[in-house]
Structure 1
Amino acid sequence: MTNEPVLAQLLDQAEDEGADLVTLRAIVEEAGELGAARALKRLGLEDSAAAKDMAELRELLGAWRDAKKSVVKALIGWIVRMGLALVLVGLAVRLGFGGWVK
């Protein structure tokens, strides 16, 4: 859901009532910039180090995702190995190789 149709309607209405379209667009652009700056300030990202902080957070998030993938792959590998070991033990017992172990 975007506000573009509402904004376009408001601009058309203001232009019909005599406002200059260039001035209206400038007001809208300035309001957007002020709103974005206010949102960044509320998030604590208004300073010059914010870009570096965001890059570090993205890198950390990427490392976390890689670690999760590695853990899942390792866990699946161990489950498969344990399953195969159980199958081999079952075959050995079924074929009578259990007596060799005693």
Structure 2
Amino acid sequence: MSNGPVLAQLMGQAEEEGADLITLRAIVEEAGELGAVRALKHLGLDDANAAKDMAELRELLAAWRDAKRSVLKAAIGWLVRLGCALLLIGIAVRTGFSGWVK
């Protein structure tokens, strides 16, 4: 499906008629559609499976974001626990708890 000839025809018509607003809008529409088709073809998304591929990519990206968020939460949780443990050890040393243990 190529819109190139349609675009060339509209450009010729605009030149002959003095380029009225409707013709120019049609040229812009056809050029935009042609550019979008070319971009999708360049990306390899011009086949029947493109919608499925994009859905899978979005799902994969969402899973990646969830995994990053989970790792960040886990790391923060461990750092908080480590800080609390160090605080408790410091309090125990400061209050002489080591003497109680002996």
Q: TM-score, normalised by structure 2?
A: 0.77
Query: Residue 34 of structure 1 aligns to which amino acid in structure 2?
Result: L
Q: Which residue does the alignment assign to 1:86?
A: 86
Alignment correspondent of 2:29: 29
Q: How do 1:38-77 residues align onto structure 2 when only pairs under 5 Å count?
A: 38-77=38-77
1:41-91 Cα offsets, whole Å, 9 max, x none, are 001111111111111111111111111111101100100000000110111
What root-mean-square deviation, in Å, do the aligned CA atoms of Structure 1 and Structure 2 show? 1.8
Distance in 2 separating the partners of 1:45 and 1:88: 58
State the partner residue of 1:6. Answer: none
Structure 2: gaps of 5 or more residues: 1-13
Aligned-pair identity in percent equals: 80
Long gaps (5+) in structure 1: 1-13
- One-letter code of the match for 2:97? F
RCO higher in structure (CA 8 A, sep ≥6): 2
Distance 1:89 1:66 in 2: 35
Structure 1 segments of 4+ aligned residues over 6 angstroms from their partners: none
